[in-house]
Amino acid sequence: MNDAAKPEKEESHHPYRRPRDAATLILIDRSYAKPRVLVGRRHDKVVFMPGKYVFPGGSVDKTDNQIPVAAPISRELETNLLKGSPKTELSRARSLAVAAIREACEETGLCLGRKGDTGSKKLNGVWQPFADAGLLPDPSGLFLIARAITPPGRVRRFDTRFFTADASAIAHRVEGVVHADAELVELVWVEIGSEPLADAHMMTKNVLRELDNRLATGPLRHDAPIPFFHFYGGKMQMDILPG
């Protein structure tokens, strides 16, 4: 994503905008007594959630489905991504998982991948850090935690899938990505419910609560309930994506 934009107030009365597919990645560090998650503080001048602690993420690019990967997404994750409405095409499901990895690397410098063969040489542009390290992005270890659609009338609307992955999947680090003029100005590993998250956006807190519940039951599983947050009649609804 680009460096911080000029200030623009987030209003709630904009004309109807169709939500854009987006993906977010929640990295979990299990090396502590209590698991910690990675969040970044957004620049004060960006349009969407300025100054808030968020997970790295952003919109799906049209080329995300064309990127070679070290291993495909699991069949179980694929099934979960096809649930809910608006419907998700099979190719879009793969794009969402790849987008989560791309956005995490772009915004934090942390790249999830595995050593690839000649496939990594085909990567360029925003994927250049993977090519430089001889890596291919690896979405095979991702889990879907939640799906959420921004309410109507907002200046930015997203249909976001929240993925999680273990920090052990980080295969490469790009220095200098997070700085005072970047979209994310600070990165912190924090326990769920800790002070930096006290002022987090409501949806960030909702997703963290769901993740905390999942972690409390043991290793993450693909067959766990997946909440779907959306707005109906001016109120937020939480459904469970059907099996």
Instruction: Enumerate the domain spans of the chain.
Output: 20-240
- 15 compared with 62, residue with greater pLDDT: 62
| Nearest one of 23, 18, 45, 199 to 106, comparing CA atoms | 23
Q: What is the CATH number of domain 20-240?
A: 3.90.79.10
The residues that bridge with 239 in the sheet, in sequence order, are: 228
pLDDT, tens digit, 9 for 90 and up, residues 45-85: 887 778 889 999 999 999 999 999 999 999 999 999 999 88
The residues near 138 (Cβ < 8 Å, ≥ 6 apart) are 69, 70, 71, 101, 112, 113, 114, 169, 171
Distances 240 to 112, 159, 218 between C-alpha atoms, Å: 29, 16, 20
Q: What is the pLDDT of residue 3?
A: 36
Task: Kindly report the average pLDDT of the chain as a whole number.
Answer: 88
pLDDT, tens digit, 9 for 90 and up, residues 168-177: 999 999 999 9
Q: Is pLDDT of 146 > 60?
A: yes
